[in-house]
Each structure stands twice: as C-alpha cells, then as structure tokens.
Amino acid sequence: MSKKTLLLLGLLVIFQNAYASKISLTKLSDNLYVVEDNYYYKENSMVYIGKEHITVIGATWTPDTAKELDLQIKKISKKPVTEVINTNYHTDRAGGNLYWKNNGAEIVSTKMTYDLMSAHWQDIVEFTRKGIPEYPMIPLVLPTKTFDNNFDLQNGEIMTIYTGESHTPDGIFVYFPNEKTLYGNCIIKEKLGNLSSANLKEYPKTLQKLKNLNLDIKTVIGGHDSPIHGYELIDNYKKLIEEGNKS
C-alpha cells in the first residue's frame, strides 16, 4: 500500500472520528434503549418504542442534541416520537424541548417541574454556562402537558414515580415494569455529582421510599456516568449521600 493511500486512509479516519455522533443507543430489550449523550457533561436518557409511537425520557441538553438523538432513533424505528418526558427542570433533561415541540411531540412533566422551570429556567441556564461556558442560551420551552401526581404512559408500560425531594425538588424515577428496569434520572448515578439544587436531608429518605415500594427491579440506569447497573446502584448512591451528610 502506497504512502499516499495510507495518508488518505488516515485522514478519512480522522474525518470520521471528528464527525462521529456523540449520542449512542444501547438496546436493553425490543422496546427499550439507553441513550448515552456525551455532549457537555455525559448524561443518560431513555427511549421506549411502543406499539404505535415512541416516548423519549429526557429531552437531552439542547435542540441540537435532541435533533441528533432523533436521527439515531430513526435508524431503529419508523414510528414517530410523540412524547418527551422532562424528568426534572434542569437543562440536561429539558434543554431539547424546543426541537421536540417543533416536531410535534408532547412535552410531558409533573406540575412541579413545570412550575420550577417557569420560575427558574434562566437561572439554571446561567448556572449551566458557568460550569460549561460553551453551553448556549437556550430559550424557555415549557411542558405542554402536566400531571399533578405520578403518571403512566404507553398503556402502563412506562410508570413515573415521585418519592420526594432529592437531586432537585421535582425529580422523578421512571419504571418500565415489563423490562424490570428503573431509570434513576439525575437522582441515582455512580458519583455524587452536582448537588447545588439537592435537598441533602431528604435525599436518603427519598431513596428509602423508593426501596420500600418493593418494585421488581433487575436493571437500574444511572442518569450520569456509566449507565447500566443492577439494583445495587440505589444502595451505593444512598450510602454516598449519607456519608456526605456525616462529613
């Protein structure tokens, strides 16, 4: 192989890597996928493919990252994305709302998330930009459908659960009973992470209330860091919070 050919191949690899997607999908079951979003600060979301339509759990960071996720989804299913859940009011869970809304999806959340987003969106964008200067000024796009309490989607195949304040006042868990999988949102992850909006006193109680539900859980998806874990991730994070409270 000539030096010129090797050079061209090398440049091709560099070009492909430079433009490789920073968003990937990992299949957990025929219906359920983990989203690993490596933009800004790594966050993990979920995609559920229902019988007639798709539900995205977590809007991702920005309209651009949401568009990229949508392109990845279109590679695995021709069904439309009709619902996107904002699992809390922060930018990593709601920053992509504008893209999804413009493409016809319902933006779904609790009433608490709606109210916090309405009151504090500008503050949370500015806070994000302090830690991530390249993060854009994202406009406020509120959820289009809200629930006062826990809600189910996809005929009960997606169940949202609120057990109290934790990482944020409003954060919810999302449970997939058929897959025996719990999405931990920003509430559960490998490392302590950002606790600027956390209620550290209530946090362990919130996790204990989750445990007390005795859900049939085989897989826990952390909202940041590496995504796929067993039930032990709940206990491990609860221990991290409790140890932090003692120090």
Angle ∠(82,84,88) on CA atoms, nearest 5: 165
pLDDT value of residue 141: 99
Q: Which residues lie below 8 Å from residue 134, measured CB to CB, with a gap of 6+? A: 40
Q: What is the DSSP string of 11-72?
A: HHHHHHHHTS-SEEEEESSSSEEEEEE-SSS-EEEEEEE-SS-EEEES--SSHHHHHHHHHH
pLDDT value of residue 1: 52
Rounded Cα distance between 190 and 222, Å, is 7
Rounded Cα distance between 202 and 198, Å, is 9
Instruction: Give phi and psi for 124, each to the nearest 5.
Output: -75, -30
Taking 70 as the pLDDT cut, the residues of the chain under it are 1-20, 247
Rounded Cα distance between 21 and 64, Å, is 12
Would you state the structure tokens that stand for residue 132, as one six-digit string? 């991530």
Sign of CA pseudo-dihedral 164, 167, 170, 173: negative
Q: Which domains does the chain have, with CATH numbers?
A: 23-245 (3.60.15.10)
- C-alpha 15: how far from chain center: 29
Strands 106-110 and 81-85: parallel
End-to-end CA distance of the chain: 62
Rounded Cα distance between 75 and 61, Å, is 21
What pTM did the predictor assign?
Answer: 0.91
Rounded Cα distance between 220 and 222, Å, is 6
User: 146: helix, coil or strand?
Assistant: strand
pLDDT value of residue 245: 85
Rounded Cα distance between 65 and 39, Å, is 8
pLDDT value of residue 11: 39
Contact 162, 150 (CB under 8 A): yes
